[in-house]
Amino acid sequence: IKGAIKNNDGFIDPEGIDENEQVQHFLSWSQNNKVKFLASELRIYSVEHFLGGTVDFVCEIEGNVWIGDLKTSSNLYPENLWQCGGYDILLTEMGLYQPIKGYVLLNLRKDGSFLEKRSVLLEEHKKAFISCLNIYRLKQQIENQIL
């Protein structure tokens, strides 16, 4: 992705072929969807929420901006979308890549199969992320006996 951004205006080389089946699925997905990558492994943060993270990629598909996350687990889970909701909160606070259309999850499975899921339920995923963050922080306080 970084090479595409640096050398090809954000587009994966259409001649790109890789022997690794997982990588080839990703290359094919990006070419078939005419994905323009805007950022890769972008470090982001929030002063308001006192947290930071690294978003796998931000891309443009059909003129809309999407937050992307790559997974190599056996499946995709709702928590993956909540994570993207967190990235959305941080990107919004930083004033980057607005407006966001949605989130795209790419599951590059170890067995060689591939799964893509998209969601445009942004507010719901952001709320879920904040709820998880609050639960995590309360749990930390209890475990550290900071009551």
pTM for the full predicted model? 0.93
pLDDT at 7 over 80: yes
Tens digit of each residue's pLDDT (9 = 90 or more) over 79-132: 999 999 999 999 999 999 999 999 999 999 988 889 999 999 999 999 999 999
For tokens 């941080």, name the residue. Answer: 90
